[in-house]
Amino acid sequence: MLRRKPLIFLLVIPFSFFILSHTIPFLYGISLSFYDWRENFVGFTNYLSVFNDAIFWESLKFTFIYAVVVAGAMTFFGLFFGIFINHLGRGQILVKSVLLIPWAISLTAWGLLGQIALSKQFGVVNDVLVRLGILETRLAWLGDPTLAKISVMLSRISKDVWFSALLFLVARQTIPSELYDESKVCGAGPWQTLCYVTLPMLKPTMLFVTTILFIFALQEFDLVFALTRGGPGFATEVASVNIFRHGVRYGNYEYGTAVAAVWSLIVSIFVIIVFAPLQRRIMEK
């Protein structure tokens, strides 16, 4: 079983494509962050400005809030809808085929749709809420800093909660039905069955879905850029948009790489503390 030579072709060369195209540019970027735009070596000057940049820290805070809320809500509501759909009988075949459609839309198009639907004067969201008497006046969903933050998170959740519902639905349907027969025999009610059979059996899926959604949410760029561009002001700016703004839109190249280095360091700490230990547990199982 153990042959060493083929690994060069099977593993080393394929993996080196990633190293060459991404990791080496990444290291090059870190080395650039110690220079200014005239290519003078400036040491940690860029990093000092990053640490004094209140907007950057605000964007970090919002990125983490965003990731926690989005991953948490999608897991919770996905679980809820997954179990709910499982009880819909034969009709669930129709439901299943519909759940992937929102997933197929790009976050870019979703952001544009959000601009249409959330517009203060012309948006359907305001119109419906006012007609139902929930709101008295139309709200500027994307104009007010707090509301814009909520809008970004809600629009992300409303798009992809169906995908996570589908994952939970499929996982729920692989639980052997003997377990449910047994719990019936033991006289368990629907709540007890949920708490002692369904939820424990779905725990691996919950862990997987939450962590992968959290990681994707930390990387969020598309939706925020298409929906608000980080505005109003910098209220909805997530870390990726912040780095993009400095490096690409403002052309503050070296400063952008310094922000990117700090951001990747913070994500790495998250990986070491949370994600990697979780993986070890999955691997040992």
CA distance linking residue 243 with residue 247, whole number of Å: 6
CA distance linking residue 96 with residue 171, whole number of Å: 13
Among residues 153, 125, 158, the alpha carbon closest in space to that of 139 is found at 125
| Residue span binding another protein (CB under 8 A) among the ranges 35-43, 45-53, 143-151, 168-176 | 168-176
| Residue span binding another protein (CB under 8 A) among the ranges 39-47, 49-57, 122-130, 145-153 | 122-130
Strand, helix or coil at 35? strand
Among residues 229, 211, 189, the alpha carbon closest in space to that of 281 is found at 211
* Site residues (CB under 8 A) for another protein, limited to 17-46: 17-18, 20-23, 25-26, 28-29, 32
Residue 208 C-beta: closest distance to another protein, Å? 5
Which residue of 106, 184, 189, 194 would you call a contact of another protein, by CB under 8 A?
106
Which residue of 48, 192, 279, 281 would you call a contact of another protein, by CB under 8 A?
279
Q: Are the C-beta atoms of residues 257 and 32 closer than 8 Å to each other? A: yes
Compare residues 63 and 183 and give the one whose CB is closer to another protein. 63
Residue 269 C-beta: closest distance to another protein, Å? 11
285 is an interface residue for another protein by CB under 8 A: no
Compare residues 170 and 199 and give the one whose CB is closer to another protein. 170
269 is an interface residue for another protein by CB under 8 A: no
* Site residues (CB under 8 A) for another protein, limited to 131-160: 158-159
Peptide bond before 145: cis, by omega within 30 degrees of 0?
A: no
Query: What's 56-105 look like in SS3?
Result: HHHHHHHHHHHHHHHHHHHHHHHHHHHHHHHCCHHHHHHHHHHHHHHHHC
Token representation of residue 59: 């964007």
- For 9, residues 6+ apart whose C-beta sits below 8 A from its C-beta are none
| Residue span binding another protein (CB under 8 A) among the ranges 41-49, 142-150, 167-175, 188-196 | 167-175
Angle (CA) 148 115 71, round 5°: 55
233 is an interface residue for another protein by CB under 8 A: no
User: What's the chain's Rg over C-alpha atoms?
Assistant: 23
Which residue of 48, 65, 109, 199 would you call a contact of another protein, by CB under 8 A?
109
117 is an interface residue for another protein by CB under 8 A: yes
15 is an interface residue for another protein by CB under 8 A: yes
Amino acid, res. 66: Y
CA distance linking residue 182 with residue 80, whole number of Å: 23
49 is an interface residue for another protein by CB under 8 A: no
Residue 123 C-beta: closest distance to another protein, Å? 8
247 is an interface residue for another protein by CB under 8 A: yes
Q: Are the C-beta atoms of residues 79 and 210 closer than 8 Å to each other? A: no
3 is an interface residue for another protein by CB under 8 A: yes
Compare residues 108 and 192 and give the one whose CB is closer to another protein. 108
267 is an interface residue for another protein by CB under 8 A: yes
218 is an interface residue for another protein by CB under 8 A: yes
